[in-house]
Structure 1
Amino acid sequence: MALHFRTLLAAAFLLVPATFAVAQDNEPDVDCDNAMTQMDMNICAHRDYETADTELNAVYKKAMDAAREMDVQAKDMGEHYVGAVNALKRAQRAWIGYRDGQCELAGFAARGGSMEPMLVSGCLADLTRKRTAELKTVYESEN
């Protein structure tokens, strides 16, 4: 009996990831230019954040490349001039903590309500775009 229960439990754990993957693939087709329901607005706000996050990741990679180049160039002046990569990593980690806390706070305006996810996603998208602009200055100032 115990072996049968363990087998069923193991099978259930194997199905959970597949269920989540299907749920994500079957996201409703929402026209975000004409979102009317709160659910649609939540979906659109999340999509907006995902788009902003994708751009941030691409810009972060370019900023990291620029920071590496700064470190290579600074090495000739001495080791104490090297550290752009580490500074960028520390700044990004600190920013992520700030972003997450700030956007959690933004959600409290509708805590527990159907609008909370939209407020959080909107905050995430806004702060992510601002951070993307900040990171662009790392490599755009070099050109």
Structure 2
Amino acid sequence: MHGRRGVGSVVRPCAVAAVVLATAGACGTPSERRDGVIAQVTRFERALDAGQHERLCTALAPSTREELEQSTRRRCARAIGEQDLPAAGAVRRVDVYGGQARVVLEHDTVFLAHFPTGWKVTAAGCRPRPQRPYQCELKGG
């Protein structure tokens, strides 16, 4: 919903749900959510390729950033530059489940969550393991 609503306008159920559920869900059509997820992963990967550490930190979910800083005992911008995050390659698959998403790329898997400010990366540098959770280089607590 962009701009102001006029008198007599209808409040969309998604807007009400956003207030009630906050980060538990993401509004928009499945296509809009998917596009938002892909856009955020693309920004994250471009910042990674360009060595833009502050932009990478901005893209992280708060708990992921906190975990990175606590585990390395360094500020995010310095710590994220020391992570062994792969060059991801092309998008192969996108799965969006309400306010959670997984993007499978050629050489990486990135997990995201939806916040009031948009999609944020919760884990990156993730590799699948048979019958076990993903092993991620960067993840939240």
- TM-score between the two structures when normalised by the length of structure 1: 0.27
Higher strand content, 1 or 2: 2
Higher relative contact order (CA 8 A, sep 6+): 1
Higher helix content, 1 or 2: 1
- TM-score between the two structures when normalised by the length of structure 2: 0.28
